[in-house]
Amino acid sequence: MTTDTTTTTEALHRAVRGTVHERGDAGFEAAHSIFYRHLDAVPDVAVTVTSPGDVAAAVTFAVEQGLEIAVRSGGHSGAGHGTVEGGLVIDLSGLADIDVDVERRTVTVGTGVTAGAVTAAAAEHGLAVGFGDTGSVGVGGITTGGGVGFLSRAHGLTIDNVLAAQVVTADGSIHDVDAEHDADLFWAIRGGGGNVGIATRFTYRAHEVGQIVGGLLVLPATPHTVAEAVRIVGEAPEQLGAILNVMPAPPMPFVPETLHGRLVIFALVAFNGAPEEAEPVIARLRGIATPIADLVRPMPYADLFAGEQGDHHPVATSTTGYAREFGVDDAAHVIDVLSAHLADPGVQMTVVQLRPLGGAIGRVPDDATAYAHREWPLMFNVAAIVGEVAQLEAQQGWVEGLAAAIAQGTPGAYVGFSLPDHPEQVHRIYPGSTYDRLAAIKRAHDPGNVFHRNHNVPPAAD
């Protein structure tokens, strides 16, 4: 939906203390920029909000003007939901407070900060909130989606550590929510994506995480090594978190040149504990095969998030899911399919990312939050990164085919890794009673479906 906003943005200027950016303004680009290049879209107007009152005013303005709303925290949505063609981007980057309460072991943040910024601030006190594997992801998107990362097996998903939140709903009202106040909204904002409102603040429980043993371990990829790596991480003490990427070896200085482009397991590992405790656990991974590169060492947890490329905007397609089992035959199929695409000139990189889960994630009941996939021991992503948008379509078929083979009929998809929505995908993200409860909360708080630029659950019918 687009409208001539040139005369009407005056009302928005008057209503907010933050900055209103219109096409051509200096800050316009930054206020609606997103991670994925192929999903870029240009709004009519963007507003960088600085308070919950600004968010409420922006929502009210958009409703009055009939503008579609996109909510942008870190801009990393794989569906491009952080911006919109025409319409209004509510850019949360001005909600940038980070308050670490060392005594209570809590961290309270504005929802425009990145996971990396929170990690760095908490690390100054030997604390951490578990997010994912990438510092530039916004806390807004990862927290409303679930949050799967290195600390999840030990301490649960990001949402399992949310103690309270502040949420602006479609009527412009501001709610301070927790388990006792507006419990429905509190339930929905933990996993329900942006469906029920805009979170402006989160308070997280933090954990003692200072020095870890972690880093990169590169192993040769064979059906045996891949299946073993998944099994070993899944059975390891919960202090171990690992993300196993089966992918062509990048031309990094510590990878022998003869192996560049050959399939390897590019494993990112983090053991939250002393080196002597970590040693036997990491030794099992090292023992799978002679490592090609072994950079696992005692290090500050926050260093896992350092060294990100600043201005990287890939064009990619991917499919995500969960698996109940992953054995040698599954690994062999992954390797066969990836190998078949190694020489494809249209593809810059292919990867199958395997994330063994379990532990604390599974100890939270499925209906405790709007994330309903706690029983699965493995989450995966299949992705192809290409050079040009026109090359995307050609990759979609095999990416989806491989994902279906890994999932083996297992339903379920993680909202954080899901691509643009279609109804069937939304039901995989929010199965059964989770969908129904979200739809009912949606009817109560957003009957007009103002917040629909997300993996959308429309309001339940009366």
Ligand X SMILES: Cc1cc2nc3c(=O)[nH]c(=O)nc-3n(C[C@H](O)[C@H](O)[C@H](O)COP(=O)(O)OP(=O)(O)OC[C@H]3O[C@@H](n4cnc5c(N)ncnc54)[C@H](O)[C@@H]3O)c2cc1C
List residues near ligand X by CB under 6 A. 34-35, 70-78, 81-82, 92, 111, 132-134, 137-138, 140-142, 144-149, 193-194, 198-199, 416-417, 453-454
Taking the least distance from each CB to ligand X, the nearer of 247 and 292 is: 247
How far is 127 from 380, CA to CA, in rounded Å? 28
Cβ pair 88, 106 in contact under 8 A = no
How far is 123 from 141, CA to CA, in rounded Å? 22
Closest residue by beta carbon to ligand X: 141
How far is 262 from 258, CA to CA, in rounded Å? 8
Taking the least distance from each CB to ligand X, the nearer of 36 and 335 is: 36
Q: Tell me which residue of 451, 424, 446, 419 sits closest to 435, measured CA to CA.
A: 424
φ, ψ for residue 286 (rounded to 5)?
-60, -30
Q: Smallest distance from the beta carbon of 300 to ligand X, in angstroms?
A: 19
Eight-class DSSP state of 255: S
Q: Is 315 helix (H, G, I), strand (E, B) or coil?
A: strand
Tokens standing for 414? 């993680």
Taking the least distance from each CB to ligand X, the nearer of 146 and 215 is: 146
Taking the least distance from each CB to ligand X, the nearer of 20 and 383 is: 383
Residue 420 pairs with which residues in a beta bridge?
A: none
Q: Is 43 helix (H, G, I), strand (E, B) or coil?
A: coil
How far is 76 from 310, CA to CA, in rounded Å? 13
Q: Smallest distance from the beta carbon of 112 to ligand X, in angstroms?
A: 8
Pairing between strand 263-271 and 211-220? antiparallel
Q: Smallest distance from the beta carbon of 35 to ligand X, in angstroms?
A: 5
Taking the least distance from each CB to ligand X, the nearer of 70 and 264 is: 70
> Computed from CA positions of residues 286, 289, 290, 291, in that sequence, does the dihedral angle turn out positive or negative?
negative
Taking the least distance from each CB to ligand X, the nearer of 133 and 330 is: 133
Q: Smallest distance from the beta carbon of 74 to ligand X, in angstroms?
A: 3
Q: Smallest distance from the beta carbon of 373 to ligand X, in angstroms?
A: 12
Q: Smallest distance from the beta carbon of 122 to ligand X, in angstroms?
A: 17
Q: Smallest distance from the beta carbon of 257 to ligand X, in angstroms?
A: 27
Q: Smallest distance from the beta carbon of 7 to ligand X, in angstroms?
A: 27
Q: Smallest distance from the beta carbon of 72 to ligand X, in angstroms?
A: 4
How far is 148 from 415, CA to CA, in rounded Å? 11
Q: Tell me which residue of 134, 329, 296 sits closest to 226, measured CA to CA.
A: 329
- In whole angstroms, what separates CA 36 from the centre of its chain? 13
Residue 22 pairs with which residues in a beta bridge?
A: 45
Q: Smallest distance from the beta carbon of 329 to ligand X, in angstroms?
A: 27
In sequence order, what DSSP letters do the residues of 57-111 get, joined into one string? HHHHHHHHHTPPEEEESSS--TT-TT--SSSEEEEGGG---EEEETTTTEEEEET
- In whole angstroms, what separates CA 40 from the centre of its chain? 18
Taking the least distance from each CB to ligand X, the nearer of 95 and 335 is: 95
Taking the least distance from each CB to ligand X, the nearer of 34 and 249 is: 34
Taking the least distance from each CB to ligand X, the nearer of 232 and 242 is: 242
Taking the least distance from each CB to ligand X, the nearer of 102 and 306 is: 306
